[in-house]
Every structure is written in structure tokens, then in C-alpha cells.
Structure 1
Amino acid sequence: MRLVSGGVRVRRAAEPSEPESEETTESPHHEHTHQEHNHPEHPHEHEHTHTEHHPGHDYDHMKEKFMNELTHLPIPTWAVAAIVVVVLVLVGCFIFCVLKKCLDSQLIVGILQAQDLAAMDMGGTSDPYVKVFLLPDKKKKYETKVQRKNLCPVFNETFFFKIPYAELGGKTLVLQVFDFDRFSKHDMIGDIKIPMNSVDLGQPIHQWRDLESSEKEEEKLGDVCISLRYVPTAGKLTVNIMEAKNLKKMDVGGLSDPYVKIVLQQNGKRIKKKKTTVKKNTLNPYFNESFSFEVPFEQIQK
């Protein structure tokens, strides 16, 4: 059993570079030259002096005019100062949010395909899907779509985990392959655990990995025999609880008082529940009880 996870990589935003300092060139100083008054022979003849126009004069004039207008505004000066402070704070928050967004890192996991999965259904096939999450927190879990009756499924799905690059080394990426079952608990086909500190995250990883078997030795709790029947035209599901064998001893005397509870769920929400009668002092109870549920055909497919 093999699973390929492609495009596992970390995206780190480049650190903002320092802005290049702009060289400022001082504007040449305009010296005002004053021509001396020469006293010619004729006292009434004087040369006219011409001064160059200074651009700074216009700026000083506009500044003086603006300050004069500001003092005559109907709102007090402290209100103007408060507005300026609020604008500066808003600009500061905007810059902070943009930088934080740019500096966020992402772990990108691509689930491509699997091959030679174990057959979990009676027909010799499986309905596989993959769960993806990070240990140890398990804060966010993703699931691929179910590939019906396929032992070599192709998924081609991508998932994103937002996590700081500095924290990634302490995480473990887990890929769990399950067999979907409509009426019972989904069976795990196998899983893959990839410690993030054991791989080079500077480059994308594209590789096949063998699934580890999920078979574990569990305590034997016994067996129960049931039968199911569904009539699409009537929208009726019938569950028959036949019997149970070799149940676990729960009482001090080495016996149990077993009963069976049946719960009908849809999308994880409990719709109806029923239970059998209690069988006293036995580890091999015989029930032979039937229960019916009204389930429209459209819902039974979900």
C-alpha cells in the first residue's frame, strides 16, 4: 500500500528590504546681488537693479496663509490635533496588518494518489479517502473526497496550514487513509507520519511513502449478529438485532446484563435512537428484535 503526497512545501514570505535612501541634492542658493549705486557725473541718472525670483518665497507665503486660515477655523486647535492623531493611528494599524499578512508562512500539502490499497469491502474493493492534520495540536483537519470502489485512487487535492516557520520543526504531518462505510464506523486502511524536522522544507517534496498497517491487537469484546433491509419505495430501513456471543464479563459474578442501542445519524447529527430489551446474566444473549426507521431514499445516499 503506497500513498504519494506531492508538493509538500513551505512558503516563506521574503523579509521586507530596507528602502534605499534617496540622495537629496541641495538646491543652489540664490544669492541676492545688490548693485551698488554709482554716482555718475549726472546725479539724476541711476541704474535699475533686478533681483531673481526665489521659489521658497511662494512656499513661505502659502504656509503663512494656511496658518492664518487655520487660526480662523470654527473648530478648536485641539480637535484638529486629535483628527491628525486618529489618522496616524489608522495608518499604523493598516501597515501592521499588511506586514503580518506578508510574513505569514504556509505549509502546503498535496495528496496526489494511492496504489495497491487493501480491500476492505466484501466486493473486494474499498472506498478510500485521506485525512490530513498536524500533531500534536490537531487544531485543523482536512479530508479528501471519497473515491468509490477504487484500490488505486487519484485525489489531486491540496491543503494549506498556516503556521509560523519557527514552529514547524516540532510538528508531525499525519496522513490517514480510511475506507468509507455508510452504515458503520470507517475502517482505517493505514497511515503515514512525517516529522517535519526530518525533511528538507527548503525544497518541495514529491515522493511515494508506504502506508503503515493500522492493525493492532485489541481486546476481544465479542460479536453481534444483525441484519439490515431497506425498501426504497417505502423509504423504510429495518434493523434486526439477532444475537451476540462471547461478550466481555462486566459483573462481579463473571456475567453481564447486555442490551443493544441503535442510533440513526445523519451528517453527525443524531436523528433517532432505539434499544433492545435487557438480557440478564448472560454473555451470549439472543434478542431477535426488529426496529424500523423512516429514511427517504435521498437521505440514505448521503
Structure 2
Amino acid sequence: MGNLAESISNSFQVGCGCQGNKMLFTAVSLSLVFSEDVEYIVLAVSALIFFIALCFLIWQIHRYCTQFTVSQSAADDLAAKTGGFHFGKPAQYAKMEGSYEEQQLSQSTSCTNLGSSFDLSSLEDLEEEPIKGSLRFSLFYDQLQSKLVVTVLDARDLAMRDFSQSVDPFVWVRLLWAEKENELQSSMQCVLHEWQTRLVKRSCSPVFGDQFSCSLAQEELSRVTVRFEVRDFDKFSRHGILGEARAPLSGLKVSYPMELRRDLQVPQKVMDIVGEALLSLKYLPTSQRLEVGVLKIHTVCHPKKTERALYSRISVTCNQCKLRHQSTTQKRRWEVTVFNEVMTFVLPDQQITECTIEVSVFELPPSKKSSKKLIGHIHLKKSRISDNEHWRMMMRSLRQPVAKWHLILI
């Protein structure tokens, strides 16, 4: 009995001890409960952080959508209607119809590469977006050093792009040399020099102040036209074209510094004819093959730029996706360079009605250290009125090559 009583007493003491510890823990827990003011503050801070995170997410989604909803519809170059090539005489170019085209690139923000690899694309956006603004520049011919000095000063009231609501302008300058004097609009031309100004971000009235110069004989001034093309830099798509200004030196007295301001106009790509190419098309429906032949290329070359090579690259694009491209061999450049090479592309019947053929002509300088230079483009597509004729001739003469001259435009 004594042992039983002792065990019961010990159990009672242990129970009391556990009960005391539980009460102590409850007291400590109660002491850690925050006051109502602190709880409201914590709740408000949490709600504020959640609101900021939600706003940041919405901003990122809006930025992504605005960058990738830019219209990617590509238009094609316009080629000449039926016409031949006569040795010693310029080809007779028919009146060209359709939309103009722009050159844009997707390069890094480095100003040295803003326009080094521009591709031709549609200028149909220029019809929807008004061209406005003006460009101020100066021209001066130094007779002692036989140098032409071109200075791009500033631009005013440039149009903003609708999709970005801002503009990051720079100016692409080309020196065009005409084949014949006083016939700058009808004769073929070549690009003597090309430069670009620095990029000015988020400014509709940028100030450039960039100066360029090149050696030029005085008797050649009447054949030269300076073309200024104002572009809107776009890192994620092709650059936009805000307008152009031209200054033929034949009607200007540039022996003294001359400062001019010209209103920007819609780019007139039809005026920039740099050559013509004789292309052949043949479609084999059974094997679903398209054969594109580069037969001859007629270009204009400055007398001082001799011993250069030419080659062309043919690309087939379907639904804005480049399927394949092939290049011709390099040939020494003559007034008429003969290639007689045929490239074969496998295209189903559905793609042959939707594809675009782009022929790019490149020039290789004699120095191996120098990079290739793009001369111009030719675009062939079934949907374009001026090119429908060549396509119709090809589809009417299946399994037979059909040749036609096409203009090469900058």
C-alpha cells in the first residue's frame, strides 16, 4: 500500500509539472502576439508589394506585345516590264507601279553597324503614316584638295512611329554617281560612298553635326546626287524610314559652304536604278522544283573602281520564313557580267504560289581584308502586278525556262 501511495503521489507531481509547463508556454505565446496596429501595417506593406509586382508584370507584357506586333508584311521590289538589253544603249525602262520599299536592319545599338546589312522590305507603312519634318545639311567642295564635304546638321518635327510612340533617328547618307551627265533620273547609278550619322534617342528634332568627306574630281560634280535617308532605329525589327531628301550637285554652287534645309519626302526607290539582271524561271510540277537562273548582270561601275568581283545570292522566302538560299560563283565585274548559273529549290505547289524570290547582288573589293558590299536587290513575287507577267509566263510554260530582264534597285 505504501508503494502504491508513493507512486500515485509521484504521478500527481509529474502531472502538475506538465500542467505548469503548458501554462508557461501559453503565457509566452500570448506575449508574442502583435498589436492591432502592427498587424495593419504588415498587411498594408504586403498589399503594396503585391500591387507593385502586378504593375511590373503588366508593364512587361505590354512591352513585349508592342515590340512584336510590328507589321512584318514584306513587299517586293518592282521590276521592269518586258524589255530587252542593247549593248551600248541603256535599256528602256517601263513605268513602274506599286509601293516603295524600305531598308531596315536589326543590328546592335552600335552606330557603326546601324545600316551595314539593311534588307529591302515594304514601304507600304509610309502610305499610312504621314511623312513630315525637314533635314538641314551643308555641302562644300574644296577645290584645293578635290574633296566634297557633307555635313548633316539637324532635323525638325520628325513623325513618330505609331507602334512605339517615339523615334530614335539617324541619317543614312549615300553619294550616287550617275552613268550619264544631266540624266540623273533616267540613267543607272552606282553608290560611290555611304555613311551614317550617330544615333539620337527619343528625339523628334535631333541635332547630329556629323561631317563626312571624300575625294571627288570637279568634273564629276554634275553627275553626283547626295541622298539623305532619315531612319528610325529599331533593335527588334527592321528600321523604319521617316523620309528622304536629295540634293543633285549639278544645280548647286558648292565651291563655297552651302547650307540647305529640305522637307522630307517619300523615298523614291524607282529613281535609284543600279543595274539590271537577266533572270530565268522554270517550274517542274511533277518533281515540285523551282529553278532560278542568273544569266547576266548589267551594272554601272565608277572608272576608278576596277578589278572588282560580283556574285549574287538567291533566297526563297515563304510566309516571312526564309526557306533556303544559294549563291553563284564570283565573277570579275564587267559592264555585263555573264553567270549562266541555275539554282534549284524544292517547293510544293502551295508554296510556289506564296513564295518570294529575292536576288541580292554583292560586290567584292580586290582586297581580301575588305568586306562584301551590297549593290542592290530584285524581288519576284506572284502577287505584285509588275512581276505577274514573269510568273504568268513561267506557269504557262511549265518545264520550260522563261527569261526576263529585271531592274536592280538599291
State the TM-score bracket (shorter-chain normalisation): 0.3 to 0.5
- State which structure, 1 or 2, has the greater radius of gyration over its C-alpha atoms: 1
Q: TM-score, normalised by structure 1?
A: 0.42
